C-alpha cells in the first residue's frame, strides 16, 4: 500500500497567477523521487495517476477545500511512454552512468581546483567513491524501472489525486494546463458516512432477516430456520466500512488480510461497530448468510463513522489490487453524488469483484447518492419483517436493484468476542446481499460479476414488497442454488 502513495506538494508560488505552476513529487517519507518523474519544468508530466495526496505548502487543508482530479488513459499512456522512453535511453547508453567515467571527471575537476577539493578526493579514496556511486546508480535504475512497471500495472484501476486548496484559481489553472485531452474532471472530495438508521427491537425471530430470505415460495412465514443450501466456503468477502472486530467468535479462524486507510496501516480494527455488524450479517457463523466465507476488513471510515470519497476510493482500489477470487465487496456507506466514487466501483466490477452497496437512508431517490448510483453497483434498499419498504430507505427505478431485510437486524458488535447489537438501515440490508453473492460464488466460483447479478435476480421473490416508491419489486432470496432440506440448516432463534 505505502509504496504507491505519493505525497505531492503544490508550491506556494502556484497560488499567485503570475507565477508558473511547479510541482514537487516526493515519496511518503519526504524523499524526492528520481528525476524521471520530477521535472519541474514540465509539470504536466509530474502528476502521477496513483492514489496521491496533494497539499499546497501554504496550508489550506480544510475538508471543504479538498478536490479529486481524475485523469484519463491518454494521460496515463503519455506518462508511461515518457517513463519507458527515458529508462530505455538510459539503459541503451550505460556509459553515461559509468562510475569510472564519473570518477575521472571528478579527478580532472579536483586537479583543476587543487587545494581542499583534491585533498578531500584523496581522503575519501577511489574505492569508496566508486562503491557509493555504483550503489546509487543501481538504486536509481531499479527504482525508476519499478516506477515504470507500476504505472503499467495500475492502468486498469481507478486512481485519483486529491488536491487541498482554497484557491479555485488553481483548479482553473489545472484544467487549462491539462485540458480535456488528459483530464476527465475535478470534483469536490465529498464526505462519506454510514448508511445506518435508528436502532430498534427485534421483530419475531431474533434473526428474522435470515429466516425471511430462505422461504421456498417467498411468503412471509417464519419457521425459525435458515437453510440456504450453501455456506460460501472458498469465497472472500471484503467489508469496506469502519473495520472489523477480528477477534469476534462469529468468524473465528476465517479472517484474511485487510487494510486501514484511516490510520494508514494494515490493522482494520473497528472502533465504531458498524463494519463488524455488517460483517456478521454477511459471513457470521451465527448471524450471517454465508457461514464459511472468509472475511477481509477494509477500514475507510473513522471511529465516528465518517470519511471521505478519496478514502473510500483508496479502499476500493486496494480490494482491486489485493483481491483473492472469488470475491465480493460490500459497502454500507454513502455520501452525495461523486463521479470519482462511481468510477472506482465500476472499475472494481471490471476487475472481477462483484460489488453491493447501500441505497441510503434519506427516503429519497438513490441516484443522488454515491456509490449507490454507480452503474455497476448492485444497490440495495431496505425492507421490514412485514414486507414493506423501510420508512428511511432510499428508492428508485434507476439506481436500486433489490430489497433485503434492513430493519431491526441483530448481528455482531465491538467490545468483546461475543458482543451483539440490533440496528437498522440499508447498511444492514446490503450485507445480506453480499452473503447471498458469496453463496452463489460458492456454487459457481468462476462466475463473473454479471453472472452473479443474474443469479440473484433470477432467484428473487417478485411483487412482495409494498410502498416500493418505484424500486424494482424484488426481495432477496438465498435460494440461489437448489438445496436438500435439512442440509446446512441452522436455527434462527
Residues tagged active-site:
241, 274, 427
Helices then strands, counting H and E runs in the chain, come out as: 11, 23
Is there a contact between 174 and 109 (Cβ–Cβ < 8 Å)?
no
473: nearest Cα among 387, 391, 394, 409: 387
349: nearest Cα among 474, 436, 428, 447: 447
Is there a contact between 69 and 183 (Cβ–Cβ < 8 Å)?
yes
290: nearest Cα among 238, 367, 342: 238
DSSP secondary structure of 168-207? HHHHHHHHHHHHHHHEEEEEE--EEEE----B----SSTT
Supply φ then ψ for residue 54, to 5 degrees: -110, 120
Cis peptide before 326 (omega within 30 of 0): yes
CA 193 vs CA 233, 333, 334, 394: distances in Å: 31, 6, 6, 15
Across 177-204, b (16+ Cβ under 10 Å) vs e yields ebeeebbbebbbbbebbbbbbeeeeebe
Euclidean distance between CA atoms 403 and 382, whole angstroms: 5
In this structure, the number of other CB atoms found within 10 A of the CB of residue 270 comes to 27
Relative to beta strand 474-475, strand 23-26 is unpaired
Euclidean distance between CA atoms 67 and 172, whole angstroms: 12
- End-to-end, the C-alpha distance of the chain in Å comes to 42
300: nearest Cα among 258, 343, 346: 258
Instruction: Classify residue 269 by its DSSP letter.
Output: B
Euclidean distance between CA atoms 418 and 276, whole angstroms: 12
317: nearest Cα among 52, 48, 9: 52
Relative to beta strand 306-308, strand 191-194 is antiparallel
395: nearest Cα among 350, 439, 426, 420: 426
Amino acid at each position: 500500500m505505502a509504496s504507491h502513495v505519493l505525497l505531492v506538494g503544490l508550491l506556494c508560488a502556484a497560488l499567485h497567477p503570475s507565477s508558473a505552476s511547479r510541482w514537487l513529487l516526493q515519496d511518503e517519507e519526504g524523499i524526492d523521487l528520481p528525476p524521471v518523474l520530477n521535472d519541474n519544468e514540465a509539470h504536466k508530466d509530474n502528476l502521477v495517476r496513483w492514489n496521491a495526496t496533494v497539499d499546497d505548502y501554504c496550508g489550506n487543508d480544510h475538508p471543504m477545500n479538498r478536490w479529486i482530479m481524475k485523469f484519463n488513459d491518454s494521460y496515463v499512456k503519455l506518462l508511461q511512454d515518457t517513463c519507458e522512453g527515458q529508462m530505455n535511453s538510459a539503459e541503451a547508453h550505460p556509459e553515461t552512468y559509468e562510475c569510472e567515467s564519473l570518477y575521472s571527471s571528478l579527478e580532472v575537476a579536483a586537479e583543476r581546483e587543487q587545494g581542499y577539493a583534491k585533498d578531500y578526493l584523496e581522503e575519501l579514496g577511489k574505492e569508496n567513491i566508486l562503491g557509493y556511486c555504483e550503489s546509487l546508480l543501481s538504486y536509481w535504475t531499479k527504482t525508476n524501472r519499478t516506477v515504470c512497471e507500476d504505472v503499467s500495472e495500475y492502468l486498469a484501476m481507478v486512481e485519483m489525486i486529491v488536491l487541498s486548496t482554497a484557491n479555485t484559481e488553481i483548479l482553473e489553472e489545472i484544467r487549462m494546463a491539462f485540458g480535456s485531452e488528459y483530464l476527465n474532471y475535478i470534483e469536490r472530495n465529498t464526505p462519506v458516512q454510514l448508511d445506518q438508521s435508528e436502532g430498534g427491537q427485534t421483530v419475531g425471530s431474533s434473526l428474522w432477516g435470515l429466516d425471511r430470505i430462505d422461504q421456498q415460495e417467498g411468503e412471509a412465514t417464519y419457521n425459525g430456520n435458515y437453510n440456504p443450501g450453501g455456506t460460501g466456503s472458498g469465497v472472500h468477502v471484503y467489508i469496506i466500512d469502519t473495520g472489523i472486530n477480528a477477534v469476534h467468535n462469529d468468524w473465528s479462524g476465517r479472517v484474511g488480510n485487510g487494510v486501514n486507510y484511516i490510520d494508514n496501516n494494515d490493522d482494520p480494527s473497528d472502533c465504531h461497530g458498524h463494519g463488524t455488524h455488517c460483517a456478521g450479517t454477511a459471513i457470521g457463523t451465527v448471524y450471517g448468510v454465508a457461514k464459511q466465507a472468509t472475511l477481509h476488513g477494509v477500514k475507510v471510515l473513522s471511529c465516528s463513522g465518517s470519511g471521505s470519497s478519496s478514502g473510500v476510493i483508496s479502499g476500493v482500489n486496494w480490494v482491486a489490487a489485493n483481491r483473492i477470487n472469488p470475491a465480493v465487496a460490500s459497502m454500507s456507506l454513502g455520501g452525495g453524488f461523486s463521479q470519482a466514487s462511481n468510477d472506482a466501483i465500476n472499475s472494481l466490477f471490471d476487475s472481477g469483484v462483484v460489488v453491493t452497496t447501500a441505497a441510503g437512508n434519506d427516503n429519497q431517490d438513490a441516484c443522488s447518492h454515491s456509490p449507490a448510483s454507480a452503474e455497476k453497483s448492485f444497490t440495495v434498499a431496505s425492507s421490514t419483517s412485514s414486507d414493506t419498504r423501510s420508512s428511511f430507505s432510499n428508492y428508485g427505478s434507476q439506481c436500486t436493484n433489490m430489497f433485503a431485510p434492513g430493519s431491526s437486524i441483530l448481528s455482531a458488535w465491538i467490545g468483546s468476542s461475543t458482543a451483539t447489537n440490533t440496528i437498522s438501515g440499508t447498511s444492514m440490508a446490503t450485507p445480506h446481499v453480499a452473503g447471498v453473492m458469496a453463496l452463489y460464488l460458492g456454487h459457481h466460483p468462476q462466475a463473473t460479476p454479471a453472472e452473479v447479478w443474474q443469479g440473484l435476480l433470477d432467484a428473487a421473490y417478485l411483487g412482495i414488497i409494498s410502498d416500493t416508491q418505484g424500486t424494482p419489486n424484488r426481495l432477496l432470496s438465498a435460494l440461489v442454488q437448489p438445496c436438500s432440506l435439512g442440509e446446512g440448516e441452522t436455527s434462527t432463534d
